[in-house]
């Protein structure tokens, strides 16, 4: 959930702020914001390709992606509904 919150919180940052944040995190030996965003995106894409959610972590990642109104919001909503129906 925290990763999704970070991605959501920083989604409207200008490139200059992302670059500055990446630099600071890199200097501290931490994953950069850009790396976190890429991992988050890959997780969402993997779940969409698979066609079902396997865990709560995947559920929250998709929910955050849905809330950002991505291109496939309707498809994400169907996956979220199906996961909640099984829970």
CA–CA separation, 39 and 33 (whole Å): 10
- One DSSP character per residue, 48-77 reads HHHTS--SHHHHHHHHHHHHTT-TTHHHHH
Q: For residue 76, what pLDDT band results from cuts at 50, 70 and 90?
A: confident
Supply the pLDDT for residue 35. 86
Each residue of 33-61: pLDDT tens digit?
888 887 788 888 899 999 999 999 899 88
- The number of residues making up the chain comes to 87
Q: What per-residue string of b and e applies to 2-39 under the rule 16 or more CB within 10 Å gives b? A: ebbeebeeeeeeeeeeeeeebeebeeeeeebbeebbee
| CB of 62 closer than 8 Å to CB of 43 | no
Supply the pLDDT for residue 69. 57
């Amino acid at each position: 959930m925290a990763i999704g919150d970070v991605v959501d919180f920083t989604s409207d940052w200008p490139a200059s702020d992302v670059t500055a944040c990446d630099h600071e995190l890199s200097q501290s030996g931490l994953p950069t914001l850009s790396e976190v965003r890429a991992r988050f995106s890959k997780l969402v894409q993997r779940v969409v390709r698979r066609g079902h959610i396997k865990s709560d972590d995947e559920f929250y990642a998709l929910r955050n992606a849905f809330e950002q109104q991505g291109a496939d919001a309707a498809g994400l909503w169907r996956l979220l509904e199906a996961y909640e129906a099984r829970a």
